[in-house]
Each structure stands twice: as C-alpha cells, then as structure tokens.
Amino acid sequence: MNLQNYYEIYVPNEEEIAGEELMQIRFIDTEDRKDSYRLITGQALLDNPPALIAEFAEDAKITNVVKPPNETLGFIVDNKVKYILDDFKFSNQTAFYQIKIVDRRQNHFINYHFLHYVGNLNRSIDYERSKFYVKNILSNDKREIKFTSDEERKTFCSNNIIDKVFPEIIYLSNDHESRDLFKINIGRTSFIVSESLKLSLEKSGVTGVAFRDVDYLTT
C-alpha cells in the first residue's frame, strides 16, 4: 500500500487557531494532585490518571482538538472527536484521560479527553530498505546515512548531538500491525493517520487539526 493514503495530522500553531498568544491552554494543578500534568509522560500509560484541569487562553478559539503543551504525547479531543475515534483502530498503547478545560469568558468548562499515545512504530521499520540522511544543526550540511536496526539509529543519535537524522524514505515491515493512527519518531515526532480517518474527521467538520501529505513512508 502506498503512503499516498496516509497523512500527518497536527494542530496548526497559527493565529487563526490559537489567538494572539499562540497557545490554547495551560494546565492547572488540582489541590490533591500537584503537578498533575507532569505525571503524563511518553513512557507509560497511567492506570490511575490524575484529575486533569486546564483553562483556555484568553484569546484562544474553542476547537474540537486542542494541542497539549508537549506535542509528542498526543492530542486533547472533545466528545465529538472521541466518538469518531472509537470506530477506528489504534494501538493498545493508547489511553484517554478525562480533562476539564475552563472557558472563563463564558464562565463554564468543557469536557475533553487527553489522548495519550505511548510508543511508536520505529521498531517496525525495515531499515535494510529504508533511507535516511543526517543534517548538521550548525552547518546545515546533509549526508546520507544507513542503519540496519532501530538500536543502531538510537545509538548514533545518542553519540552525535549536532547531527540530526531525518527519513528520506521509510518502509514499514510487512508484519507491522495496520492502524488508523500511529506515531513515528525520527527527526521529529509525527502522528500519522489513515485516509479513512482523515476523511471521517473532515466530513464531520472537526476543527483544530490539519493534515499534510507524507512523502517518505510506504508499506
């Protein structure tokens, strides 16, 4: 299957989405759980998630999908989007935590869900067939590089802090699990959705997300 049927999904960091402050929300620690948002990391799902509460920025527009402070952890979605997502196939490393977001302009709160996505498909990459390049963050010089495994790539990245690895073309292994949403974390964290999920979100008029073609991935 060609990746023309897959798209990167993201929350645009643009003024027409987030208002003049270029942010939508800030988290508020509850009395019983200090630093509640910081308990969420990309390492593990929470069996007992904290009571999450946040507030919209003063100029922010209210959208169906909201960007969390750390974009690598997932998305914040309202009930409308959660209802759509329930019909699609996700990794078992996905959880939804309830979160209330306060809109002080209307003096009320809206129920959202924090979509926490743990893990990625990096280990499902066919490194023998895939191609990568390295970009030096100081000189911007680029060169091709080859890896035979995800462990080799991670070791290179750990030992070369000024050389950043980017994908040129990525082949996923034939035995990878087909999903409607997955994450690849090479160069930057990218959330990828199937065309059917993209079309469903667009047909429902979901606000706060955008899509772009992925030209480096194939299965």
Contact predicate 30/36, CB 8 Å: yes
Mean pLDDT of 194-199: 93
What is the residue-averaged pLDDT of the chain? Answer: 87
Q: What percent of the chain has pLDDT over 90?
A: 51
Among 59-63, 77-81, 124-128, where is mean pLDDT lowest?
59-63
Judge whether residue 19 has pLDDT over 70.
no
Predicted pLDDT of residue 2: 45
Any idea which residue has 């974390």 for tokens?
A: 185
- What element of type H or E holds 101? strand 94-103
What is the spatial distance between Cα 95 and Cα 47, in angstroms, rounded to a whole number? 9
The pLDDT confidence band at residue 15, using thresholds 50, 70 and 90, is: low
pLDDT of residue 144: 95
75, 11 Cβ separation under 8 angstroms: yes
Does residue 97 contact residue 54 with C-beta atoms inside 8 Å?
no
Long-range contacts of 122-128 (CB under 8 A, 24+ apart): 122/150, 122/153, 122/184, 122/185, 122/186, 123/150, 124/172, 124/173, 124/175, 124/176, 124/177, 125/150, 125/170, 125/171, 125/172, 125/173, 125/184, 126/171, 126/172, 126/173, 127/152, 127/153
Q: Is 35 left (phi over 0), alpha (psi -120 to 50) or beta?
A: left
3-state secondary structure of 66: strand
pLDDT, one tens digit per residue, over 65-92 is 998 888 888 999 999 999 999 999 887 7
Mean pLDDT, residues 133-156 taken together = 94
